[in-house]
Amino acid sequence: MNRLFTICLMVASLSACTNSTTPEGYEGYLYHEPLAFGEAYFIKSLTGPTSTGLVWRQFLQNVDVRPKNYTEEFHILSSDNLNVGFEAHARISIRTGTVQKLVEEFGSGDVVSGTNMPEWYVRAVRQPFRTAVRDIVHGYNAYDIQAQTQTIGNAILMRLQEQYADTPIEFQTMSIGNLAYPPAINAEIQRKLASEQDLERMDRERQIAEQQAQITVTNARGRAAAQSIVNETLTPLYVQHEMLEGFSRLSRSPRVTIISAPTSENGSSPVMLGLGN
């Protein structure tokens, strides 16, 4: 009888033993749960990959601490009272070594049924995240939201980083996308964007025309300066000298005859010079 009791006790003891593992990218919240009396209490945190080994009444909650993207959909009124639909994408991670505080104050890493999101996100992050997005986006009119998505995302990120600075939760990036407007607003935005593109194109063409005009003016000034130099240097004596030099070069040819006609008022007779052979 005693042997049977001992065997039953050993079987019960072994059934109360656990050997849990924490995979890579996770941190484990290890706690003890009494068999009958007392309260559960935290033992230590584990950084994966690791395991507890065979332990008595110790249980493990693993929390994925890797950065993950969380997306929320919105349909809100802009500052000019137009309904705008969009998605806000936040990249969130859990700070290393904070799994105890996360589980005890914000919730576990267990996925909440129907949401595909961890408990800590649903309990402590989702609503403040949505509130920050609404508050900031509402300050923009519908036409500017599309052009200012990066500025809006940065403003939301800064607000949430400050709000969660002393918590295990870390917001890493934030972006706004998949904007949806009513058809009339879409058409107006497209017209506005087309007008801005036309203005940019006209400004580029104006800059090119100004540069070309400047080049033309510079070339004209250069030609005028060169002509001025030529006009100043072409004195009568210089022209006569150049003419005589030309005659000298021509005289070297056997087939050239040079006739010299007087230019004085006394009307001297022309003189024919046979130069060369």
One DSSP character per residue, 89-142 reads EEEEEE-TT-HHHIIIII--SPEETTTTEEHHHHHHTHHHHHHHHHHHHTTS-H
Residue 183's pLDDT is 75
Q: Chain centroid to CA 31: how far?
A: 44
Q: What is the pLDDT of residue 234?
A: 64
- Are 80 and 119 within 8 A, CB to CB? no
113 is written with which tokens?
A: 């049924």
CB 94 within 8 A of CB 63: yes
As a whole number, mean pLDDT of residues 8-14 equals: 46
- Measured CA to CA, the distance from residue 41 to residue 18 in angstroms comes to 16
pLDDT of residue 5: 45
Q: pLDDT at position 247, please?
A: 72
pLDDT tens figures, 157-182: 999 999 999 999 999 999 999 988 87
Q: Is residue 276 over pLDDT 60?
A: no
Residue 11 pLDDT grade (very low, low, confident, very high; cuts 50, 70, 90): very low
Cα 147 versus chain centre, distance: 13
- pLDDT of 259 > 90? The answer is no
Averaged over 247-256, what is the pLDDT?
A: 72
Separation in Å, CA 124 to CA 31, 95, 221: 22, 15, 74
| DSSP string for 42-66 | EEEEEESSEE--SEESEEEEEEE-S
Structure tokens at 100: 């105890």
Q: Which residue has the higher pLDDT, 215 or 248?
A: 215
CATH code given to domain 68-181: 3.30.479.30
What is the rounded average pLDDT for all residues in the chain? 82
